Amino acid sequence: MDAQFKKDLIDILGREFDKRFAKKFQEVREALGKDMIQVFNQGFDSLVLPQFEDIDKNFTGIKRRLDSLEDRVGVIDRKLDSMNNKWIDCDFRLKKIERIPVIAHQIKK
């Protein structure tokens, strides 16, 4: 075989090898990409999503506690209003009693 033919044959075989290698590399790359996406999705589903569910449960619990606190504050507010009304009523009655001359004289002693 002459040298030019050998060189041309080596070039043709080299290009064919490069094409096949590039094609196989692309196939492997795509397969690995799909595998990586699948692994990422599985990890996300198993690690991240449960955290969001826990956070949601915590917020629900916090909301329930806040609702309970609002109810308690409402009860305390009503009790304070009732006590305040009683104090106002007692103050009014005391002033009425102090206006009676006989009692007023006894109070001032």
Per-residue pLDDT, averaged over 27-36, amounts to 88
**pLDDT of amino acid 82:** 95
Q: Can you count the helices (H) and strands (E) in the chain?
A: 3, 0
Per-residue pLDDT, averaged over 82-101, amounts to 89
**pLDDT of amino acid 76:** 96
Contact (Cβ atoms closer than 8 angstroms) between residue 104 and residue 98: yes
38-89 pLDDT per residue, tens: 888 898 888 888 888 888 889 999 999 999 999 999 999 999 999 999 999 9
Place of tokens 């044959």: 9
**pLDDT of amino acid 108:** 63
Domain boundaries of the chain, sorted by first residue: 3-108
